[in-house]
Amino acid sequence: MGQLLSETFFIVLYNRVYSPLLNSGTQAIVATKCGVRMGEKAVVIYSGGMDSFTILQRAYKEGYELYALTFDYGQKHKKEIRYASAVCDELGIPHRVIDITAINQLLQSSSLTSDMEIPEGHYEAANMKSTVVPNRNMILLSLAIGYAVDIGASKVFYGAHSGDHAIYPDCRPDFVHAMNKVAKLANYEPVDIVTPYLNSAKTEILADGLSMGLDYGKTWTCYNGRDKACGKCGSCVERLEAFAANNAVDSLEYEQA
């Protein structure tokens, strides 16, 4: 913990004090010698959930100058946005919350954003398809890549993982690889889409976060945005299984034990 704090202090000191005094070439040399990405700008699509929380923390630890981006697309679990803001405040990371609810005038078929009931059970179940927001990640990535170009960031971190492959087509490797090619074609400045957990299960992502000493009580994943997590929706079920597989206890409060 002490080492993490001193590393964090050094990275913050470098990014906030020394880096602005150096030209970009010198920044790159210093960053390379230090073995971390100091002064390299990156955008993180940060929902406030477990996966993007872990990515944000990992990238922060590696020394990126992070810009967090959260989308309000009319999700019922809007509470996750407050969790995202609190973490960014704590780490001193600039955080933009962008209201894209207007897209729901076109996209009304998902239970995440409409009056439809949120289904319970596993992600693999057929009824979970109702949680798919059409083309969501392509829309979000497109906006994030535009933001990255605008602020001179070379990377967009995004939390696709293998657990989502079954029902969310835009979380699959084929989509991510193709989108990366499109990002390079669409702009003069190259932007890489980085998906550190593309082939990892939720259990492995959690294991990585726990190895960094992260507190997942600072994340919200439940699709129902009530006071406490429901413990029954696909997102809660997957989260609880990941904690069980890691022999760890989730510090988040649930409606039922």
Which residues of the chain form contacts with Zn ion (CB under 5 A)?
A: 222, 230, 233, 236
Q: Which is closer to Zn ion, CB of 141 or CB of 230?
A: 230
Smallest distance from the beta carbon of 216 to Zn ion, in angstroms? 14
Q: Which is closer to Zn ion, CB of 88 or CB of 230?
A: 230
Q: Quick one: the chain helix, strand, coil %, rounded to 5?
A: 50, 10, 40
How many CB atoms are located within 10 Å of the residue 90 CB? 9
Q: Which is closer to Zn ion, CB of 19 or CB of 131?
A: 131
Smallest distance from the beta carbon of 119 to Zn ion, in angstroms? 11
Tell me how far apart the alpha carbons of residues 230 and 25 are, in angstroms, rounded to a whole number: 50
Opening angle at CA 89, ends 94 and 218, nearest 5: 120
How many residues are present in the chain? 257
DSSP H helices, 71-169, are: 79-91, 136-151
Smallest distance from the beta carbon of 255 to Zn ion, in angstroms? 8
Q: How far apart are the first and last CA of the chain?
A: 30
Q: Which is closer to Zn ion, CB of 44 or CB of 128?
A: 128
Smallest distance from the beta carbon of 91 to Zn ion, in angstroms? 26
